Structure 1
Amino acid sequence: MLCPSDRRNLGSLFVAGLLFWASLASLLPILPLYVQSSGATGQMVGLVMGCFAIGLLGSRPQLARLADDRGRKITLLLGMAVVAIAPLIYIFAESMVQLAAVRAFHGLSIAAFALAYSALVVDLSPPQHRGELIGYMSLVNPIGMGLGPAMGGFLQAAWGYQATFLASAALGLLGLALLLPIREPRIEKHPPTQRHRRENFWLQLAHPAVRTPALVLLLVGLSFGALTTFVPLLVAESGVTFNVGLLYTAAAIASFTIRLPVGRASDSYGRGPFISFSLVLYTLSMVVLWQASSTLQFLLGGFLEGAGAGILIPMMAALMADRALPNERGRMFSLCMVGFDVGIAMAGPVLGAVSDQVGFRTIFGWSAVLTAIALLIFLTLSSKDAPHSLRFALGRGDDIYAVDSPR
């Protein structure tokens, strides 16, 4: 199925991806507490954490253009360099403004690495096995997200914040070394499709092929932002004593387990039913976290969220690949993920302000409502009209926006 050089490239890319996500995830259980220990309120914690998505969002257009025009590798290297540098700068930040600036800079890492990684995997994948290979290669996220938080929580408890930041930076540096020998395939240039003849990056969000996935990810991003920002504080508020990193590990285990069969099955049954199922799982996870009062319940909430994320993000990547020509993939995936970026950016300050009034628990109840709305939107607006959308979302119809669709 793959030639030896492609296997080597994918192997190096896979290990580099593991290091990237482990570096990022190692800071998940400690950063909110680190910011709070500096005297921040819930709203201030949310503002600082939300700046990560501001960096993501602001850099999306330029990085998407870089990945499509200059190549995936240079974009990968840029993302990995940021993930290696940013943890070192946290150590020297002395105010909320400086922490927010570093957090925004850190956001560039995902904007560059994730879109270039997904685009390069698709470039190297035979179309008939695209979903399967995306499923395999996307395992770097749950494995990294499983190892990173546990490592970060352990290092912080044993040696403090500084040791955790140094370890995170070291993982990024090792990832840089692994990316250097990768060679990307030559991409054949195609004339731009009608939706991409307009040069304005943001106006392309108006096309229904992108608009509905981006809107779904906006609502999911709000819930995910609540998870990454406020779960450590919710656990502390609940009086439950356990390593919060284990919640992220439970999410990673679920994500890892579910990706392998889903990626292969989506090549046969379409992306729609799996995206719908992932939104059901996301809603259930938010409900469980809303009601959680024990270690087991928190772990269950994390497990369900991981299962939802393990399906949703790879399936959205495959959906955007189906709907794009090779030289448009970076732009299409980036446009789709804009919704996720905005959701995360809004989650911190908006939900943080609410948490100061009603506590951290209530925001997870609201998050369940948001993901339920996302499911309703996908069921009714994922195709040209409601009947076609429902059939596609349930696996009973084709994707009319796919490049090779007979429409």
Structure 2
Amino acid sequence: MSDNAPLWTRNFILVSSINFQLVLTFYLLVVVIVGYAVAELGATTAQAGLVSGLFIVGTLIGRLLVGKFLERFGHKTTMIVGLIGFLIFSGFYFIPLNVAALLGVRFMHGFMMGMASTVLGTIIAQILPPTRRGEGIGYYSMSSTLGTAIGPFLAIWMMLHVGYNAIFALSTFIAMCCLIVALMIQVPNLPQHPKTVETQVSVKKPSFISQFIEMKALPISIIMLLASICYSGVLSFINFYAKEIDLVETASFFFLMYAIAILISRPFTGPLMDRKGENIIMYPAFIIMAIALILLSQAHSSFMLLLCAGLLGFGYGNIQSVCQTVAVKSANIERMGFATSTFFIFLDAGLGFGPYFIGQALGYISYSQLYFYSAMAVLACIVIYFLLHGRTASKRQQASA
């Protein structure tokens, strides 16, 4: 296929727009749900962390099980069912709930998002021209980046000026838009897993784990898990910390600055990785992320808070992007969907379980100490990255030089 094969097709734009809206909704809710659980439902800090993280746990389970739904119902039906469920559970936030019921809603809401978003990622990987797949995935990931910027910005602004019900109404409206757009997508005939005994006679039966996980993507996905746990303390508790240091208004721009830093760096880090390998991005990114968290632990001015946000974008934002690229490249074309799913399962696990354990720790340490200890954990990740992937990547880069 030619390098000039069209990239911005109708399907590509529609699928990317749904992904943007799903990510926007996730961040719109995850930033405020901790405060909502504490202020409106009387939850403890640990319970509120679980309320925040259980959505991502549901997403993780949805990603694990979506393959079974794809086998039985196909891509478009699975996507539509996931988005219908996503819309239904968006409406449940309007109902007065206790903490236990809200946990159930958060889990199911995340489960439906996991189903839908995984199908979207599979469709994207298949409809992109093979010669432009890396470029296309990069642009597709930008839809997530925009969601990570606009979602938290809207959430904090709306929480300050219009309240929780307005946020829930907006998330429900966005969920409805996702469903409407999905109905317009023309899903191509994508390959299905074999269903009958006859079709499986000549095919080696896959192991149980390989039905969910791409083993080649596992090392870099473990790195993503550890980095995302460190970042989850920022994602879920930055608003509480901002109140403590009297910078709530500035905090509404925190994730906007984070995303701007990613948008600035992405055109440079991508080509640099292609030429020099992933290590030249990953090692500095870990150090920058650690510096950002150390500075965040000492932040007492608007400038310092926004500087930390920008540094996190250069650090964690590029760690996430590079890890996703490495995961996808690690697998053969027929396993690309599994590699992508493996990466997001570990990312979701870090962002999902992290807030709960951090919430438990906050009973003994301050927010400032949390971010300092998180920085130390990020520095430890450098050693783990070297052992699991970095030294192998270095040898591969030297061999190709």
Fold conserved between structures, TM > 0.5: yes
Q: Does 1:198 align with 2:207?
A: yes
* 1:110-189 pair list within 5 angstroms: 110-187=113-190
Residue equivalent to 1:405: none
Cα RMSD for the two superposed structures? 3.1
Deviation of 1:287 (Å): 1.9
AA aligned to 1:27 is L
Residue equivalent to 2:29: 27
Residue equivalent to 2:217: 210
Residue equivalent to 1:16: 18
Contact 1:155-1:163 within 8 A present in 2 as well: yes
1: distance between equivalents of 2:112 and 2:280? 31
* 1:251-266 pair list within 5 angstroms: 251-266=258-273
Residue equivalent to 2:338: 331
Deviation of 1:15 (Å): 2.1
Unaligned ranges ≥5, structure 2: 195-199
* 1:281-292 pair list within 5 angstroms: 281-292=288-299
Contact 2:7-2:129 within 8 A present in 1 as well: no
1: distance between equivalents of 2:332 and 2:129? 14
AA aligned to 1:311 is N
Deviation of 1:170 (Å): 0.6
Q: How many residues align?
A: 391
- Classify 1:11/1:363 alpha carbon distance in 2 versus 1 (closer, same or farther; 3 Å): same
2: distance between equivalents of 1:77 and 1:313? 28
Deviation of 1:75 (Å): 4.5
2: distance between equivalents of 1:275 and 1:75? 36
Of 369-378 and 2-11, the range deviating more from structure 2:
2-11
AA aligned to 2:103 is A
Q: Does 1:249 align with 2:259?
A: no
Contact 2:33-2:51 within 8 A present in 1 as well: no
Partner SS state of residue 129, structure 1: helix
- Percent of aligned pairs with the same amino acid: 21
AA aligned to 1:254 is A
- Classify 1:372/1:124 alpha carbon distance in 2 versus 1 (closer, same or farther; 3 Å): farther
AA aligned to 2:21 is L
Contact 2:224-2:323 within 8 A present in 1 as well: no
Deviation of 1:312 (Å): 2.9
- Classify 1:35/1:172 alpha carbon distance in 2 versus 1 (closer, same or farther; 3 Å): same
Deviation of 1:333 (Å): 1.9
Residue equivalent to 2:238: 231
Q: Does 1:348 align with 2:337?
A: no
Deviation of 1:298 (Å): 1.7
> TM-score w.r.t. structure 2 length?
0.86
1: distance between equivalents of 2:113 and 2:4? 27
Deviation of 1:216 (Å): 0.6
Contact 1:381-1:389 within 8 A present in 2 as well: no
AA aligned to 2:343 is C
Contact 1:153-1:243 within 8 A present in 2 as well: no
2: distance between equivalents of 1:330 and 1:303? 31
Partner SS state of residue 382, structure 1: helix
Deviation of 1:226 (Å): 0.9
Contact 1:219-1:343 within 8 A present in 2 as well: yes
Unaligned ranges ≥5, structure 1: 399-407
Cα displacement string for residues 49-92 of structure 1 (whole angstroms, at most 9, x for unaligned residues): 12123212323321245458865544543444444333321221
Residue equivalent to 2:317: 310
AA aligned to 1:172 is A
1: distance between equivalents of 2:204 and 2:110? 28
